[in-house]
Structure 1
Amino acid sequence: MDGDITSASSPDAWQVLSDARTTNAMILGALTLVAYDHLLTLSKEIELMWPSRTSFPLTNMIYLWNRYFTLISLSYDASVMLSPYKSNAVCIKFFQGEAVTSTIILATVDLILMLRVWLLYEKKRLLLYLLVPMIGLEILTMAVVSHYTIASVPEYWPVNSITGCFPMGNVPRFFAFYSVPVLVVSVTMFVLTVYKCGTSLLAHGRVHMPIHALFLRDGVFWFIIIFVTFIPEIAIWARGRQSLAELLIAPGLAISSIVGSRVLLNIKSLGHSYPRLPESTTARNAVEFDTIDYALSAPWRTTLGHPTMSAITEVTSEERGP
Structure 2
Amino acid sequence: MPVAAMVLILWDHCLTFSEEVATMWGPLNERILTKAVYLLNRYFTEAVLIYRIYVTSQVLITNENCKTTGWLSAISAIVIASVSQFYIMMRVYRLWDHRQSVRRALLAVFGICITAAVILSTLTALSYTETKGESQGICPIESVPVTLPCAIGTLLFFNVFVILITIYNTLEKPRRFENEMLDSLRQDGARIYVAVCMLWLLLLVTSVTIEATAFVSLFALVYPLNANIVARVHLRVESLRLLAPMGPVTIYQGSVKG
TM-score range, shorter chain: 0.7 to 0.9
Aligned residue among 186, 194, 198 for 1:216: 186
Amino acid in the other structure paired with 1:189: V
- Equivalent residue, structure 1, for 2:255: none
Q: How much has 1:241 moved relative to structure 2?
A: 0.9
Moved more, 131-140 or 49-58: 49-58
- Equivalent residue, structure 2, for 1:302: 251
- Equivalent residue, structure 2, for 1:39: 14
Aligned residue among 211, 215, 226 for 1:256: 226
SS, match of residue 248 in structure 2:
strand
Aligned residue among 165, 186, 189 for 2:162: 189
- Structure 1, residues 112-170: CA drift from partner, whole Å, max 9, x if none? 22332343222x3323332223223223222322333344452357433xx13131x33
Whether the aligned pair in 2 keeps the contact of 1:110 and 1:185 (CA below 8 Å) is no
State how far apart, in whole Å, the 2-side matches of 1:115 and 1:240 are. Answer: 37
Larger gyration radius, structure 1 or structure 2: 1
Aligned residues: 250
Q: How much has 1:179 moved relative to structure 2?
A: 0.7
State how far apart, in whole Å, the 2-side matches of 1:191 and 1:113 are. Answer: 14
**Cα gap change, 1:272/1:146 in structure 2, threshold over 3 Å: closer, same or farther?**
closer
Q: How much has 1:53 moved relative to structure 2?
A: 6.7
State how far apart, in whole Å, the 2-side matches of 1:59 and 1:87 are. Answer: 37
Q: How much has 1:174 moved relative to structure 2?
A: 4.0
**Cα gap change, 1:28/1:302 in structure 2, threshold over 3 Å: closer, same or farther?**
same
- Equivalent residue, structure 1, for 2:112: 137
- Equivalent residue, structure 2, for 1:247: 217
**Cα gap change, 1:218/1:159 in structure 2, threshold over 3 Å: closer, same or farther?**
same
Whether the aligned pair in 1 keeps the contact of 2:120 and 2:147 (CA below 8 Å) is yes
TM-score normalised over the length of structure 1 = 0.67
Residue 204 (structure 1) aligned with residue 164 (structure 2): no
**Cα gap change, 1:294/1:113 in structure 2, threshold over 3 Å: closer, same or farther?**
closer
**Cα gap change, 1:107/1:85 in structure 2, threshold over 3 Å: closer, same or farther?**
farther
Aligned residue among 75, 85, 107 for 1:100: 75
Amino acid in the other structure paired with 2:156: L
Whether the aligned pair in 2 keeps the contact of 1:226 and 1:255 (CA below 8 Å) is no
Amino acid in the other structure paired with 2:27: S
- Equivalent residue, structure 2, for 1:76: 51
Aligned residue among 135, 138, 151 for 1:164: 138
- Structure 1, residues 82-119: CA drift from partner, whole Å, max 9, x if none? 33333334322331232223222332223222332343
SS, match of residue 72 in structure 1:
helix
**Cα gap change, 1:42/1:190 in structure 2, threshold over 3 Å: closer, same or farther?**
same
**Cα gap change, 1:250/1:120 in structure 2, threshold over 3 Å: closer, same or farther?**
farther
The share of aligned pairs that are identical, in percent, is: 21
Indicate the RMSD between aligned Cα atoms, in angstroms.
Answer: 2.9
**Cα gap change, 1:55/1:80 in structure 2, threshold over 3 Å: closer, same or farther?**
same
- Equivalent residue, structure 2, for 1:269: 239
Amino acid in the other structure paired with 2:86: D
State how far apart, in whole Å, the 2-side matches of 1:47 and 1:87 are. Answer: 42
State how far apart, in whole Å, the 2-side matches of 1:268 and 1:191 are. Answer: 24
Higher relative contact order (CA 8 A, sep 6+): 2
State how far apart, in whole Å, the 1-side matches of 2:101 and 2:176 are. Answer: 25
Whether the aligned pair in 1 keeps the contact of 2:113 and 2:155 (CA below 8 Å) is yes
